[in-house]
Amino acid sequence: MQITKRVSYERDTKIINAASFTIEREDHTIGNIVRMQLHRDENVLFAGYKLPHPLKYKIIIRIHTTSQSSPMQAYNQAINDLDKELDHLKNAFEAELARHSGSQSRQY
């Protein structure tokens, strides 16, 4: 039983600029991070995630934005920003490791 659609998107009919993203096969690890990054965006009015059931492995992220942006745009922007932050984190970590092991090898 293959899950073909990993991420699906549903617009809210009653509220403008509101949408829910359902992501299969993900849990708090990604949900909490995307929620935190969405909060940092100025155009986002509401951002939250939940696991509908702890035994089922999927999350729902709900985003409301101002009229200046759309939920899809906010979501894409948040994840792209996260990607860049993680890249920077990895480089900083490796640089620090190199510096640390370099200084350690010099001490006898």
Partner 1 sequence: MEEEKTPKISVWNLPDVPKGKLPAHLELQRTRVICTPDAATNTENIRYSGAYASMGVDNSLRLGHFRDNFRVEVVRLTEDDMEFDMIGIDASLANAFRRILLAELPTMAIEKVLIANNTSVIQDEVLAHRLGLIPLKVDPRMFEYMSENDVPNEKNTIVFKLHSCCERGSSRIKVLSNELQWLPRGSELTVSTEKPAVDPTSRPRTYTSFNCSQDSLPEFSNNPIGPKHDDIIIAKLGPGQEIELEAHAVKGMGKTHAKWSPVATSWYRMLPEVVLLQEIEGEIAEELVKKCPVKVFDIEDIGKGRKRATVARPRSCTLCRECIRPDGKEKEKEQRIYWDKYVALRRVKDHFIFTIESTGALPPEMLFTEAVKILEDKCERVITELS
Q: Note the residues at the interface with partner 1 (CB under 8 A).
A: 5-9, 21, 23, 26, 28-30, 32-36, 39-42, 44, 72, 75-76, 79-90, 92-94, 96-97, 100-101, 104
What's the min distance (Å) between Cβ of 4 and partner 1? 9
Residue number, 13 or 29, with CB nearest to partner 1? 29
What's the min distance (Å) between Cβ of 15 and partner 1? 19
Distances in Å between the Cα of 35 and the Cα atoms of 40, 46, 64, 95 are 9, 10, 12, 29
Locate 49 and state its tokens. Answer: 């995630």
What's the min distance (Å) between Cβ of 69 and partner 1? 13
Provide φ and ψ at 19, rounded to 5°: -155, 155
Residue number, 33 or 51, with CB nearest to partner 1? 33
Residue number, 39 or 50, with CB nearest to partner 1? 39
